[in-house]
Amino acid sequence: MKKKTIFSAFALAASAVTFNVSAEEKKLTLMLDWFVNPNHGPIVIAKERGYFKEEGITVNVQEPADPSTPPKLVAANKVDLAISYQPNLTIDVAAGLPLIRSATLVATPLNTLTVLKGKVNNLSELKGKKIGIAIAGNEEATIGTMLNTHNVDYKDVEIINVGWALSSSLASGKVDAIWGGFRNFESNQLALEGYDAKAFFPEEHGVPTYDELVFVANAKTHDKEAIKAFNRALEKATTYIVNHPQQSWKEFVAYSPDTLNNELNKRAWNDTLTRFALRPSAVDHKRYDDYAQFMYDQKIIETLPKAVDYIPNFN
């Protein structure tokens, strides 16, 4: 009888602890940069494997109706976190938006200047050619810098806004090159359509290296402990992906089989594995300052933000 009483008391205490943990679980809303795709692998795996829950948080993942709005929603306190791009974050901070970088998702550039092999062999051959872009913005700084490494001026090319029809515009001959497509997707999509593409990487042609995808939070209202928990879960997920690339692919597509389980995403998954940030919280302030200086020199931004002012320590 005594043993039974002790056991019952223990069970009651355990259930109370479970209730308290559940009651204290923090909720975060994360707005992606685009619809779910292999770039978001660590987020999906963290949800699928329960890593967020292990860290005491629940994460509501949302896809944007307009890809340009996620950072603005964070600044307006409509969502807790959003995925953005290091160059865009620099522009936003320089413009006065209350944003901070809270973690890195993809730690290398993904953007490329892509051509079809045989038609354009090097950047010097783009003189007098047409370059398609998805969204008008700071392309003059990056494309111009890349072209200058081969003695071609930005004014020597014609920029055409083709919207999101990047691959088809290149394949059809409407343009001679495209800017804005990711190296883990665009070349694979063209290959699946029977075209052999060549990608010129900005970081190999005069543009400073940067983090392609980063998480941003509100500088004034962010929950530091919740973000640290989010980052720990993200690191667990990334480690799992690196250790088990094929099994993690299966778990990734299980998140939404109808939209994720296809050949393009499978190829993109394999090409993205080495680009995920192994330590999402870690940051190189000089890397951010160097890129900000580049944008300032190119007159993309009018003020020069310092990394220490918008990248707090979440380790």
Beta-carbon contacts of 267 under 8 Å, excluding residues fewer than 6 positions away, are 188, 191, 192
Cβ contact 121:192 at 8 Å: no
- Residues of the chain with pLDDT > 70: what percent? 93
Measured at the alpha carbon of residue 284, what is the angle toward residues 110 and 275, in degrees to the nearest 5? 30
pTM: 0.90
Q: DSSP letters of 231-270?
A: HHHHHHHHHHHHH-HHHHHHHHHTTSHHHH-SHHHHHHHH
Predicted pLDDT of residue 242: 98
User: pLDDT band for position 20 (50/70/90)?
Assistant: very low
Predicted pLDDT of residue 68: 87
Strands 213-218 and 158-161: unpaired
User: pLDDT band for position 34 (50/70/90)?
Assistant: very high
Predicted pLDDT of residue 264: 98
Structural domains of the chain, ranges and CATH numbers in brackets: 25-108+211-310 (3.40.190.10), 111-204 (3.40.190.10)
The whole-angstrom distance between residue 128's C-alpha and the CA centroid of its chain comes to 33
Q: Tell me, what amino acid is at 101?
A: R
Among the ranges given (4-18, 144-158, 232-246), the one the predictor scored with the smallest mean pLDDT? 4-18
Residue with the larger pLDDT of the pair 139 and 58: 58
Predicted pLDDT of residue 163: 85
Residue with the larger pLDDT of the pair 68 and 36: 36
Beta-carbon contacts of 19 under 8 Å, excluding residues fewer than 6 positions away, are none
Burial class (CB within 10 angstroms; exposed 0-12, middle 13-18, buried 19+) of 245: middle
Cβ contact 37:244 at 8 Å: no
Among the ranges given (92-101, 135-144, 158-167), the one the predictor scored with the smallest mean pLDDT? 135-144
User: pLDDT band for position 137 (50/70/90)?
Assistant: confident
Q: Tell me, what amino acid is at 90?
A: T
pLDDT in tens, 40-88: 999 999 999 999 999 999 999 999 998 889 999 999 999 999 999 999 9
Predicted pLDDT of residue 78: 98
pLDDT in tens, 194-250: 999 999 999 999 999 999 999 999 999 999 999 999 999 999 999 999 999 999 999
Work out the mean pLDDT of the chain and round it to a whole number: 93
Measured at the alpha carbon of residue 275, what is the angle toward residues 160 and 295, in degrees to the nearest 5? 50
**For residues 30-48, average pLDDT:** 98
